[in-house]
Chains A and B, each alone.
Chain A
Amino acid sequence: MMRRSTFITYAGLGLFGILGPILFPAYTLSIAYLWMMVLMASTWDILGGQMGYNSLGNITFFGVGMYVSAIIQISIFYEPGVGEYTSAMGAIKPEFTDQQYYWGIFLGIFGGAIAALALSLIFSTFMFGLRGPYFAIGSLGLAIAAAEITVTINYVGGASGISMPMFPGDIEFRSVFFYILCFTLAVLSHFVIRGMLSTQFGLAINAIRDDEDKAEAMGLPTLIYKQIGWAVTAVFMGAIGAVAGNMAGFIDKEVAYPVPTFGIFMVAMVLLGGKGTLWGPVLGAIIFHIVKETTWTYLLGWQWVTLGLILIINIVYFQQGIMGWLQSKYPEMFGIVVDQSNINQEKKES
């Protein structure tokens, strides 16, 4: 059963999640973005922290989900189709009924997730023969390529982007609606990941991280595990991408594929909180988000520089992150057994 500390954490976060927008309505969208960061960090950690495959290109799935969702949402009820809509460059403003909008957005999220999933399976065929830096740079290449190629496709608006359908409802309701979507997806991703890690799957990806050659030599079909890990990441990133597109109201290459910012910040968050732990990414995302929001107010312009500095300082001086540091200081709290008797024995022998 769940330990007391875990239960308290869930209760606390759950309360915050549910009461947040009620108590601080002006910050609703901001907290929604927080949950988005939590999802990004948590899913990155599957491959990056638990499996040791640092992907710098997960943002690709985010962007693809966003664009696919836009295509679905517009084409499903707008007869002439997406091509007409985008070539008009915002001149056409289709009127959707409430029902059409909601159907559109839910199908869009679903479609975005599926498209991202399919893409991850395709990528898996040629990316996982690469290790270490090659995988990182290759995945970065994927993100850049996706961004550049999207810009050249006029069907999805090319460089001009796509305006998303208007939300039927007032501003407050809109914020709450998107908040609920972000929160739900974040919670869902957390529990799916938690569930997966508690099975043999979790052991397998940790083994791959620890010594992939040994895992291969023991007959572990590493490719399948890598595919599953990336697929789960893709599904959630695609879904949240779809939501993010609707939240932004307008999507283009920068919104969909923010490689030098969010693409990397998901890595920074995990590092800060502690790679390869269940709560590290969550903690890191929360802290990072708070820092980002406060520096925006006070250091506008220097915000990205500050966050970049945090990343470097973290990496150089504090690699294990907060959770990692806690684990080394208080290992018993995390169920790691340190054999006192063995240690004393070795001391006697030397």
Chain B
Amino acid sequence: MNDIIKVTNVSKAYGGVKANVDISFKVKKGSITGLIGPNGCGKTTLFNSIVGYHPIDGGSIEFDGKEISHLRVGDIARLGMLRTFQQTKIYTKMNCVDNMQISVSHRRNSKNGIFASRKGEIRERAEDLLEFVGLYSKRNLISGDLSFGQQKLLEFAMALMNEPKVLLLDEPTAGINPTLINGLIDRLGRANQELGITLCVIEHNMRVIMNLASHIYCLSNGKMLAEGKPSELQNDQRVIDAYLGGH
């Protein structure tokens, strides 16, 4: 199964607002796929539909060949698909190491017991991953006290801790100091190559996504507008028009 995520004709409406209309797209296993489009075009809604936040009105969503459109968030996460949030969601009252430790994988076949020790190898892995994202020195601080950029890194590290097959990232560079963006991109790339995690990224920063992704989809007004390699989309007039407001 080459397509780890397969979305077919998915629609979602909130009352009168048609957030997603007949969207179809695929994410290849092991790739980095981008999802772009002007504000309000339905990208986050699509993500929410995929990870199980709300029921969809129609269509099908397959993860690794399995239909998941009726499953809840927890079940989908345990199948190996995680997402990060635009406004970052972490356990603000716990320190960073604890945030990491509790993010360990809870899948059926994992050997992480309910009463596993807090001082053993789980903690070691947690600290290693904190090192990977550059937060090792902050590991004992309460995560709610970190800066926004640091929280984003923590959320990313927590996702890695969970050993997911696929990671959906909702605007990972939004609100991050431009000098730190390169570091984040680098780590995203390494997560993809070294750890084999498939990434699907919503992004507004064109430089970032054009360099990161191998395949990009563009949404507009709730519908799929265009798709292709970064170079193709950059020159696609429809994409340019969507962003500049010309219909």
CB closest chain-B residue, reference A341: B137
Contact with B along A209-232 (1 / 0, CB 8 A): 011011111111110110010000
In the complex, whether A201 has a CB less than 8 A from a CB of chain B is: yes
The residues of B that contact A221 with a CB separation of less than 8 Å are 74, 78, 106
The residues of B that contact A316 with a CB separation of less than 8 Å are none
Contact with B along A183-204 (1 / 0, CB 8 A): 0000000000000101111111
The listed residue (B107, B117, B145) touching A342 by CB distance below 8 A is B145
Per the 8 Å Cβ criterion, residues 32-80 of B in contact with A are 51, 72-74, 77-78
Cα distance A228–B145 in the bound complex, in angstroms: 31
Interchain nearest-CB distance for B143 vs A (Å): 9
Cα distance A199–B83 in the bound complex, in angstroms: 26
Cα distance A342–B142 in the bound complex, in angstroms: 12
CB closest chain-B residue, reference A337: B140
Contact B116 A218 (CB under 8 A): no
Q: How large is the interface on B (under 10, 10 to 19, 20 to 34, 35 or more residues)?
A: 35 or more
In the complex, whether B188 has a CB less than 8 A from a CB of chain A is: no
Contact A203 B105 (CB under 8 A): no
The residues of A that contact B142 with a CB separation of less than 8 Å are 336-337
Contact A200 B118 (CB under 8 A): yes
Interchain nearest-CB distance for A128 vs B (Å): 12
Contact B115 A219 (CB under 8 A): no
Interchain nearest-CB distance for A26 vs B (Å): 43
Contact A219 B94 (CB under 8 A): no
Given contacts A210-B92, A219-B106, A339-B145, contact A203 B78 (CB under 8 A): no
Cα distance A218–B73 in the bound complex, in angstroms: 9
Contact B138 A339 (CB under 8 A): yes
Contact B102 A207 (CB under 8 A): yes
The residues of B that contact A42 with a CB separation of less than 8 Å are none
The residues of B that contact A203 with a CB separation of less than 8 Å are 94, 98, 101-102, 118
Interchain nearest-CB distance for B75 vs A (Å): 9
Contact A218 B77 (CB under 8 A): yes
Contact with A along B79-123 (1 / 0, CB 8 A): 000110000011111110010011111110000111111100010
Given contacts A217-B83, A220-B106, A221-B78, contact A200 B122 (CB under 8 A): yes
In the complex, whether B198 has a CB less than 8 A from a CB of chain A is: no
In the complex, whether B20 has a CB less than 8 A from a CB of chain A is: no
Contact with B along A172-192 (1 / 0, CB 8 A): 000000000000000000000
CB closest chain-A residue, reference B138: A339
CB closest chain-B residue, reference A222: B74
The listed residue (B51, B94, B104, B114) touching A217 by CB distance below 8 A is B51
Cα distance A216–B72 in the bound complex, in angstroms: 9
Contact B91 A207 (CB under 8 A): yes
In the complex, whether A206 has a CB less than 8 A from a CB of chain B is: yes
Cα distance A218–B100 in the bound complex, in angstroms: 11
In the complex, whether B31 has a CB less than 8 A from a CB of chain A is: no
Cα distance A196–B115 in the bound complex, in angstroms: 7
In the complex, whether B151 has a CB less than 8 A from a CB of chain A is: no
Given contacts A203-B98, A336-B142, contact A218 B162 (CB under 8 A): yes
Contact with B along A132-162 (1 / 0, CB 8 A): 0000000000000000000000000000000
In the complex, whether B141 has a CB less than 8 A from a CB of chain A is: yes
Cα distance A220–B142 in the bound complex, in angstroms: 21
Cα distance A207–B162 in the bound complex, in angstroms: 15
The residues of A that contact B90 with a CB separation of less than 8 Å are 211, 214
Per the 8 Å Cβ criterion, residues 125-177 of B in contact with A are 138, 140-142, 145, 158-159, 162
Q: Taking A200-B118, A221-B78 as given, write out 11 further A-B residue pairs in contact, using a Cβ cutoff of 8 Å, ordered by the A residue number.
A: A199-B115, A200-B102, A200-B104, A200-B113, A200-B115, A200-B122, A201-B115, A203-B98, A217-B89, A218-B82, A336-B142
> Closest 10 A-B residue pairs measured CB to CB?
A219-B77, A210-B91, A337-B140, A199-B115, A216-B74, A203-B102, A219-B78, A207-B102, A200-B116, A214-B89
- 13 A-B pairs within 8 Å (CB atoms) are namely A200-B101, A200-B114, A200-B118, A203-B101, A203-B118, A210-B92, A217-B51, A217-B77, A218-B82, A219-B78, A220-B102, A336-B95, A342-B138
